[in-house]
Structure 1
């Protein structure tokens, strides 16, 4: 009797060609590959008009939920450049981080901003009030505003949401989900 081993799927990050995130997302979806492209509505102004447009939150990246068997199918997709790697292997993004990113994007009361610079890890916190209750991440105080930071590992991007300081509480290392310790 042979044991059937279920195929495990994980979230990975693929790098796309410049300004091709939506094309990659569309192509992956048409190939029935599960993917996630974080988008946000932004007001853009031209000389003659203003318009609300949907823009990728992280330029140049798309998340895919695949098994190792689907790895090559993703790489063969038009405008996919490569997988983001860590120590020579495709970097796995924890599902909880994808879920928390989706939750942040669903909260229309808060504007989410991608920060493309390396910020040293700060105090680990959990949101205890408001629509983002239960979310964990890093807390950074910058430009005299309180910002909640969610670090997505392996892609050098951070996501921030402005929150009042009484909405968060400090966590100890043993309670923090992403410390890796």
Structure 2
């Protein structure tokens, strides 16, 4: 009977391990999340594993492949064990993670919730409450850079996205 197990993979080799395991008819799953990163000076949305170095696998060790075969696959370090045996995971847990992962991938990206560059906004919380500003750009996932006028000069400030009203 097929069971779910948790594998620890070598750093940065989850995709390699997944490819080699799927060639052995092992079902693999690791949830991913889309994050914005600055790569070579440009913002890019990339997918990263939610649990770096960990992967859920499902197979029947009696029919093959064996634990040793899976553990010896390129990119895999070892099973997560409790005692001497690999720990069997609940199928409901994996099913729930898959549903959550699908919902996250279908949801809108962060950029769709932020104002457009150059749009006038007002600050509704914090030390600059009530001040009108111009939206410049996102600063990570939770903050934005705004331009406000102080003493006849445009000044950049960073505020939490929850403090912006547009």
TM-score, length basis structure 2: 0.58
User: Quick check: which has more Rg, 1 or 2?
Assistant: 2
Paired residue for 2:101, among 100, 105, 109? 105
Q: Which residue does the alignment assign to 1:19? A: 12
CA contact (8 A) 1:25 1:37 kept: no
Q: Is the partner of 2:94 in helix, strand or coil?
A: helix
- Aligned: 1:78 with 2:77: no
Superposition RMSD in Å: 1.8
Structure 1, unmatched stretches of 5+, are: 1-7, 112-181
Whole-angstrom distance in 2 between the partners of 1:52 and 1:35: 24
TM-score, length basis structure 1: 0.53
Deviation at 1:19, TM superposition (A): 1.1
Deviation at 1:18, TM superposition (A): 0.9
Structure 2, unmatched stretches of 5+, are: 110-166
Q: Is the partner of 1:93 in helix, strand or coil?
A: coil
Number of equivalences: 104
Deviation at 1:27, TM superposition (A): 1.3
How is 1:13-162 mapped onto 2 (pairs within 5 angstroms)? 13-46=6-39, 48-69=41-62, 70=65, 71-108=67-104, 109=107
Q: Is the partner of 2:97 in helix, strand or coil?
A: helix
